[in-house]
């Protein structure tokens, strides 16, 4: 098999971007590095889908065996020259069975078009190869696509400890099937001071075959590329299995491989569940598979993985035409559709429970923001519902070009937010600002009001939030009430400064374990140390703008239950004893007299 040759990019007379600059193009995403890579790869695959085909996306975390590693050393990187003794790629090539992360798709167009970045392409021709392999920051050419500028490809290099990837693609060029393989590296800029290669280099390198002129380096093609791909264990594909495989060498892994593949699965589900939702007679828009050293790691179905089932229901209903119109008044413009669902909280399945990665929350309270490509840009958080309930929604902006373009332009390079503040004044900025404001208004209505009372008479219970502090026993000051029940010693002034109640909020009624309907209040206890404390409170009714001890019929609101942040029972009746090291968020369930709203003042007492 022919060995590959290396080309290292020199700075031109007009200047070039250094490899370090390319790595920094991504900016600072609000999601972690692995999520960024997964998001970018799937978005690129979706944008490259062919017609109505269902693209397939594979993630394979594996170790190279001895034969595969021999090909990597002796065929692909045989012309590699270490930059210094601690060179990362050199360290990778010295390992026996190093890890690689392979991201592959089938049913897409592959990396087609010319391999020479200087060639002019017609409007109906793609330039995917040079845009991905050669150029930096090329504007998107996919109408209403998931990506915007393709800057996120720099995340692929950042995830590799040696900044190196191998690209294998089956595509068409000028009406003919073509297999292409090339290796790319983004390292550090360097200078060669003597010899025939004297010069200043950007730090970008490619391994392939020089063209006839000897000036430009092209990918290896045809049977050579196919044989080489098979010998390094890349996804096996025939000449009609169009698509691309990207092998990230020596991926950054701070955990065991089993934990990493689970993190990948979590990222796929949390970010791309809209592409996994099945529709009657259609199936799902995309098919995903995850593998660990050749072993299939099954992804759960969206409808079996709370809280994604709530978002999936919202998306189905929205696409069926059951959504709220989000419109702009000036100028008049339809901005998109919103659908919100409220359901009993589902049990999280193992591997997909709440963690510190901001995915799969204990209680969903979010709207998934999307453009027409139906890829999640961001989850917009709102208020919690009472225990045992959660809600989720979907907003898809209009596919009208002017509106879709506005939302696309509001996204940072990582496509993980809508940031109207960074946009210039004009209609585009107005569209995004107004849409976000309208969505938040609907979110507040979902989590902030109730429609029933225990007798079913329809009296509305208003949300008691921080802006209505007067309803919460007047000025709360440091969060402690001056009153206390008999036999309890209130905290001293010194303790009062240390112990605080914050984030007091009230929510509409909901049943507790199929018993009576209760009003719910949530607050947090802040403490600088671990100690046992007693919690109590004064529930009152709120009638005609004033607090009262009892309702017109003489009934009083009563505390029934106290729950911790996990919604576990920690007390019943007037008081609950907790240790401040074990929990911070507290839920309180209170009975609701007829035709009344309820207010509540929490108190802290030390034994």
Long-range CB pairs of 466-473, under 8 A, 24+ apart, other chains included: 466/503, 466/504, 466/505, 471/542, 471/547, 471/599, 472/504, 472/506, 472/599, 472/600, 472/601, 473/538, 473/540, 473/547, 473/599, 473/600, 473/601
Report the candidate in 256, 245, 99 with the shortest Cα–Cα distance to residue 162: 99
Neighbours of 546 (CB within 10 A): 9
The answer to whether 173 and 112 have CB atoms below 8 angstroms apart is yes
Mean pLDDT of 116-134: 84
The answer to whether 251 and 263 have CB atoms below 8 angstroms apart is no
Mean pLDDT of 316-345: 95
Report the candidate in 130, 136, 216 with the shortest Cα–Cα distance to residue 173: 130
Give me the residue label for tokens 């050293």: 293
Neighbours of 392 (CB within 10 A): 28
Q: Which residues is 245 bridged to in the sheet?
A: 104, 168
The pLDDT-based confidence of 149 (bands split at 50, 70, 90) is very low
Query: Which tens digit of pLDDT belongs to each residue from 57-94?
Result: 999 999 999 999 999 999 999 988 776 656 899 999 99
Query: Which tens digit of pLDDT belongs to each residue from 195-233?
Result: 888 888 888 999 999 988 777 899 999 999 999 999 999
Distance CA 259, CA 73 (A): 29
Query: Residue 292: which H helix or E strand, with range?
Result: strand 287-292
Give me 274's structure tokens.
């809209």
396 or 414, greater pLDDT? 396
Give me 264's structure tokens.
């990948």
The answer to whether 31 and 39 have CB atoms below 8 angstroms apart is yes
pLDDT for 147 beyond 60: no
Distance CA 531, CA 366 (A): 34
CATH 3.30.565 residue spans of the chain: 5-111+144-265+280-299
Q: Any idea which of 58-67, 248-257, 374-383, 566-575 has the lowest mean pLDDT? A: 566-575
Fold of 5-111+144-265+280-299: Heat Shock Protein 90 (3.30.565)
Query: Which tens digit of pLDDT belongs to each residue from 376-394?
Result: 999 999 888 888 889 999 9
pLDDT for 592 beyond 50: yes
The answer to whether 397 and 372 have CB atoms below 8 angstroms apart is yes
Neighbours of 66 (CB within 10 A): 8
The DSSP secondary structure of 182-219, one letter per residue, reads EEEEE---EEE-SSTT-EEEEEEEEEEEE-TTSSSEE-
pLDDT for 491 beyond 70: no
Mean pLDDT of 323-330: 95
pLDDT for 289 beyond 70: yes
Tell me the average pLDDT of the chain.
83
């Amino acid at each position: 098999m022919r060995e590959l040759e290396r080309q290292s990019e020199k700075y031109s007379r007009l200047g070039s971007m250094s490899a370090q600059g390319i790595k920094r193009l991504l900016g600072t995403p609000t999601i972690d590095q692995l999520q960024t890579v997964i998001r970018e790869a799937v978005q690129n695959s979706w944008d490259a889908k062919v017609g109505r085909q269902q693209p397939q996306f594979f993630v394979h975390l594996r170790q190279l065996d001895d034969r595969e590693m021999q090909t990597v050393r002796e065929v692909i990187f045989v012309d590699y020259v270490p930059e210094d003794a601690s060179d990362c790629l050199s360290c990778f090539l010295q390992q026996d069975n190093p890890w690689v992360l392979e991201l592959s798709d089938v049913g897409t167009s592959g990396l087609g078009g010319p391999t020479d970045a200087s060639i002019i392409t017609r409007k109906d021709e793609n330039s995917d190869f040079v845009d991905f392999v050669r150029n930096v920051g090329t504007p998107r050419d996919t109408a209403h696509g998931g990506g915007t500028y393709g800057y996120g490809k720099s995340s692929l290099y950042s995830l590799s400890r040696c900044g190196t990837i191998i690209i294998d693609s089956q595509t068409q060029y000028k009406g003919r099937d073509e297999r292409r393989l090339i290796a790319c590296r983004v390292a550090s800029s360097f200078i060669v001071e003597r010899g025939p290669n004297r010069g200043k280099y950007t730090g970008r390198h490619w391994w392939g075959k020089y063209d006839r002129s000897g000036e430009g380096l092209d990918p290896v093609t045809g049977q050579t590329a196919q044989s080489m791909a098979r010998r390094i264990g890349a996804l096996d594909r025939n000449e009609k299995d169009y698509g691309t495989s990207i092998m990230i060498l020596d991926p950054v892994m701070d955990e065991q491989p089993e934990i990493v593949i689970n993190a990948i699965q979590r990222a796929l589900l949390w970010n791309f569940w809209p592409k996994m939702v099945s529709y009657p007679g259609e199936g799902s828009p995309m098919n995903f598979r995850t593998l660990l050293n050749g072993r299939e790691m099954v992804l759960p179905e969206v409808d079996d993985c709370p809280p994604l089932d709530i978002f999936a229901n919202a998306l189905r209903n929205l696409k069926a035409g059951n959504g709220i119109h989000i419109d702009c008044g000036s100028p008049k413009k339809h901005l998109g559709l919103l659908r919100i669902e409220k359901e009993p909280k589902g049990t999280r399945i193992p591997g997909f429970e709440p963690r510190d990665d901001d995915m799969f929350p204990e209680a969903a309270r979010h709207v998934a923001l999307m453009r027409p490509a139906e890829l999640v840009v961001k989850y917009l958080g709102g208020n919690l519902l009472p225990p045992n309930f959660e809600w989720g929604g979907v907003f898809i902006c209009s596919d009208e070009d002017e509106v879709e373009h506005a939302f696309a332009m509001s996204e940072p390079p990582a496509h993980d937010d809508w940031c109207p503040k960074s946009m210039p004044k004009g209609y585009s900025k107005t569209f995004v600002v107004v849409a976000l404001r309208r969505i938040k208004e609907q979110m507040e209505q979902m989590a902030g009001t109730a429609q029933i009372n225990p007798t079913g008479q329809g009296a509305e219970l208003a949300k008691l939030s921080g802006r209505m502090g007067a309803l919460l026993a007047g000025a709360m000051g440091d969060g402690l009430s001056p009153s206390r029940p008999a036999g309890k010693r209130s905290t001293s002034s010194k303790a009062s400064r240390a112990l605080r109640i914050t984030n007091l909020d009230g929510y509409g009624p909901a049943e507790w374990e199929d018993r009576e309907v209760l009003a719910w209040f949530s607050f947090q206890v802040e403490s600088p140390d671990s100690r046992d404390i007693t919690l109590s409170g004064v529930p009152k009714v709120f009638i005609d703008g004033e607090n009262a001890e009892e309702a017109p019929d003489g009934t009083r609101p009563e505390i029934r239950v106290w729950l911790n942040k996990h919604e576990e029972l920690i007390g019943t009746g007037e008081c609950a004893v907790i240790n401040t090291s074990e929990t911070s968020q507290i839920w309180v369930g209170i009975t609701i007299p007829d035709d009344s709203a309820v207010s509540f003042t929490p108190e802290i007492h030390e034994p």
